[in-house]
Amino acid sequence: MARTFETVGVVGLGTMGAGIAEVFARAGLSVIGVEADEAALARGRDHLEGSTGRAVARGKLTTERQQEILGRITLTTSREDLADADLVIEAIPEVMEFKRGLFADLDRICKPSAVLATNTSSLSVTAIAATTSRPAQVIGMHFFNPAPIMKLVEVIHTVVTEDGLAADIADLARRLGKTPVTVGDRAGFVVNRLLLSYLNHACGLVESRLSTRDDIDAAMKLGVRFPMGPFTLLDLIGLDTSYEVCEVLFRESRDRRHAPAPVLRELVTAGLLGRKTGRGFYPYAEGTAPTHETAARSAVSMVGIVGDGQDAAALLARFDAAGFKAVVAETSDLTPVAGADVVIALSDTPVVELAVRLPHPERLVGLHLVGDGVAEIASTVLTSDEAAAAAYDLMKVIGRAPVRCRDRAGLVVNALLYPYLNDAVRMLESGYSTVEDIDNAMRLGCGYPAGPFEMLDAIGLEKVRDGLRALYAEYREPSFAPAPLLDQLVTAGVPSIREHAG
Ligand SMILES: NC(=O)c1ccc[n+]([C@@H]2O[C@H](COP(=O)([O-])OP(=O)(O)OC[C@H]3O[C@@H](n4cnc5c(N)ncnc54)[C@H](O)[C@@H]3O)[C@@H](O)[C@H]2O)c1
């Protein structure tokens, strides 16, 4: 018989716990919220009142309904108050010793039939369950930030979880208005395994000075239509949580892309944990909201475009319309652009080999147009500051957000996006989850406009495979090599991974 859950305990009312308590109370359940001490409890109360108060201010909730929701939540500093709960979910910091200590206690306090759940982002649910006398009743219930808004709940069962419990927890998630995706117990589950690799990789790009925080954020937000750039998201998640998740991923995978980037360690050690402490990659104090600098205007009398096909013709037309004299050269003969003040080579691969064929190699930049809004501008080792600034200005003139970067395979967007898509194919290949669940998880857990397989189909499997080959050739990073499934689908001429494997 299916279990019923009416009274739910939530331990830890920080970034996640307060939101989770609100979600349960909104669905009509009674909630007991537990914090470590009175000060933290007061912060938890503020979170709850603030979040529901904002919903009232936006007209999404009436004051009566807000009171009803808050009235269902009892706040306490005593774990002993959880004795009668049907389900307890914890959202304390991502540290295994803390979780194990808490679960041993919950096992002692809670009634024998109670289910114990963890909101861990990455830690082994199996290892947490093993500290209790009821490992069959321990499960992962992983919400996403902000919990009242994000629709996904990952339900994580272990090898000893009792039959039917994952289905009951998935039903509970649906009752909360969420979409459950049920998976086994692997570090990072679906979303964080794919997401944190990407976020950590973005940190690595800043460390290697491929581009800047602001430019990378703009590239992923405006170019790929992710709801926010990687550094804004890291600050939202919390850099301490992000660091811990990367550590856990690395311990399981030994993939150095999961090893937390040194900049994360540095910021965490300095206590700059993101939004929750008022500063992380960005400052959040009043008056210091993230800003994107603008470059000075520069004088250009002739623009050279290197490229063939529609993009070159379209760019020429845009420059014409904006009143600039522009000429096009195909890559075989660069003579027409030899006298241009700035030479724009349309390419998503390194362009330094074109620069060295010009009389003024310092005038050449690479340009990669991403979607409708972004232009990646690649400076080679020879590019002058003036040419880079001129290209930057020109992109603004034609209505594109310029993203500055170094002349490396994949530039910014493809260097971040393609390995993420490849990771999703590897996950599918490993049998851990399905096309539909992985797509749903990334759309609903991260607010992405499309899941990785939808993106793969839209971009084209061959284009992504070739982009990954170029990245691998440049960086020799083993995980950049195209997943065998991707390579084989391209070789076999299969156009859609969703139709083939979905
Ligand atoms: N931040 C995210 O985006 C996110 C998303 C999904 C899951 N998670 C997971 O949720 C958990 C909590 O993360 P967070 O970001 O909310 O952390 P947080 O630091 O914002 O909140 C943790 C809360 O737990 C409280 N706490 C600590 N020890 C406690 C104890 N012994 N008893 C009761 N309360 C205690 C703290 O006072 C704090 O309020 C972690 O496992 C994390 O991996 C986080």
**Residue 402, token pair as written in the block:** 């310029």
Taken in order 139, 116, 5, 22, the sign of the CA dihedral is negative
Give tens-digit pLDDT for 335-365.
999 999 999 999 988 999 999 999 999 999 9
Q: Return d(Cα 478, Cα 468) in angstroms, integer.
A: 11
**Residue 261, token pair as written in the block:** 């980037």
Confidence of residue 484 (pLDDT cuts 50, 70, 90): very high
Distance 117 CA to ligand 1 centre (A): 14
Confidence of residue 135 (pLDDT cuts 50, 70, 90): very high
pLDDT mean over 262-272: 95
Confidence of residue 1 (pLDDT cuts 50, 70, 90): confident
Which residue's alpha carbon is at the smallest distance from atom 43 of ligand 1? 121
Is 200 assigned a catalytic role?
no
Query: Which pLDDT belongs to residue 299?
Result: 76
Which residue's alpha carbon is at the smallest distance from atom 38 of ligand 1? 14
Give tens-digit pLDDT for 410-435.
999 999 999 999 999 999 999 999 99
Instruction: Kindly tell me if the per-residue pLDDT of 308 is higher than 90.
Output: no
Confidence of residue 288 (pLDDT cuts 50, 70, 90): low
Give tens-digit pLDDT for 9-32.
999 999 999 999 999 999 999 999
**Residue 485, token pair as written in the block:** 């499934």
Task: Ligand 1: list residues with CB < 6 Å.
Answer: 11-17, 34-36, 40, 91-94, 98, 102, 119-121, 142-145, 237-238, 241, 276
Q: Which of 121, 122, 444 to mutate to test the pocket of ligand 1 (most atoms within 8 A of CB)?
A: 121
Strand 30-34's sheet: what is its strand order?
Answer: 73-76, 30-34, 7-11, 87-90, 115-118, 138-142, 152-156, 179-183
Q: Return d(Cα 433, Cα 404) in angstroms, integer.
A: 37
Q: Return d(Cα 363, Cα 382) in angstroms, integer.
A: 8
Instruction: Kindly tell me if the per-residue pLDDT of 492 is higher than 70.
Output: yes
Query: Which pLDDT belongs to residue 295?
Result: 44
Across-strand partners of 141? 155
Residue 490 gets the label, from left (phi > 0), alpha (psi -120 to 50) or beta, of alpha
Distance 11 CA to ligand 1 centre (A): 9
Confidence of residue 294 (pLDDT cuts 50, 70, 90): very low
pLDDT mean over 208-231: 97
Give tens-digit pLDDT for 26-43.
999 999 999 999 999 999
DSSP sequence for 375-431: EEEEE-TT--HHHHHHHHHHHHHTT-EEEEEES-TTTTHHHHHHHHHHHHHHHHHTT
pLDDT mean over 367-387: 95
Distance 16 CA to ligand 1 centre (A): 6
Nearest atom (ligand 1) to Cα of 276: 20
DSSP sequence for 16-55: THHHHHHHHHHTT-EEEEE-SSHHHHHHHHHHHHHHHHHH
Q: Return d(Cα 142, Cα 106) in angstroms, integer.
A: 18
Residue 17 CB contacts under 8 Å (≥ 6 apart), including other chains:
10, 11, 33, 44, 90, 91, 92, 119
Pick the catalytic residue from 154, 244, 362, 454: 154
Nearest atom (ligand 1) to Cα of 102: 31
**Residue 165, token pair as written in the block:** 């419990």
Which residue's alpha carbon is at the smallest distance from atom 3 of ligand 1? 237
93 and 238 in contact (C-beta within 8 Å)? no
Q: Which of 92, 156, 196 to mutate to test the pocket of ligand 1 (most atoms within 8 A of CB)?
A: 92
Distance 91 CA to ligand 1 centre (A): 4
**Residue 355, token pair as written in the block:** 């620069």
Pick the catalytic residue from 145, 192, 200, 379: 192
Is 286 assigned a catalytic role?
no
Average pLDDT of the chain is 95
pLDDT mean over 99-126: 97
Confidence of residue 285 (pLDDT cuts 50, 70, 90): confident
Q: What angle do CA 215, 241, 105 make, to 5 degrees?
A: 170
Which residue's alpha carbon is at the smallest distance from atom 36 of ligand 1? 12
Instruction: Kindly tell me if the per-residue pLDDT of 386 is higher than 70.
Output: yes
Instruction: Kindly tell me if the per-residue pLDDT of 298 is higher than 60.
Output: no
Instruction: Kindly tell me if the per-residue pLDDT of 296 is higher than 50.
Output: no
Pick the catalytic residue from 22, 35, 119, 121: 121
In this prediction, what percent of the chain has a pLDDT beyond 90? 93
Across-strand partners of 100? none
Instruction: Kindly tell me if the per-residue pLDDT of 292 is higher than 80.
Output: no
3-state secondary structure of 438: helix
Query: Which pLDDT belongs to residue 51?
Result: 95
Give tens-digit pLDDT for 153-205.
999 999 999 999 999 999 999 999 999 999 999 999 999 999 999 999 999 99
Which residue's alpha carbon is at the smallest distance from atom 18 of ligand 1? 14
Instruction: Kindly tell me if the per-residue pLDDT of 293 is higher than 70.
Output: no
Q: What is the pTM of this model?
A: 0.92
Is 479 assigned a catalytic role?
no
Confidence of residue 446 (pLDDT cuts 50, 70, 90): very high
Is 142 assigned a catalytic role?
yes
Instruction: Kindly tell me if the per-residue pLDDT of 439 is higher than 60.
Output: yes
Count the neighbouring beta carbons within 10 Å of the beta carbon of residue 77: 13
Q: Return d(Cα 466, Cα 490) in angstroms, integer.
A: 10
**Residue 315, token pair as written in the block:** 């760019």
Burial (0-12, 13-18, 19+ Cβ within 10 Å), 475: middle
172 and 148 in contact (C-beta within 8 Å)? no
Q: Which helix (H) or strand (E) holds 213?
A: helix 213-218
Which residue's alpha carbon is at the smallest distance from atom 30 of ligand 1? 36
Distance 221 CA to ligand 1 centre (A): 27
Backbone φ and ψ of 256, nearest 5°: -70, -15
Q: Which of 176, 144, 178, 138 is nearest to 157 (CA)?
A: 138
DSSP sequence for 81-147: GGTT-SEEEE---S-HHHHHHHHHHHHHHS-TT-EEEE--SSS-HHHHHTTSS-GGGEEEEE--SST
Q: Before 419, cis peptide (omega within 30)?
A: no
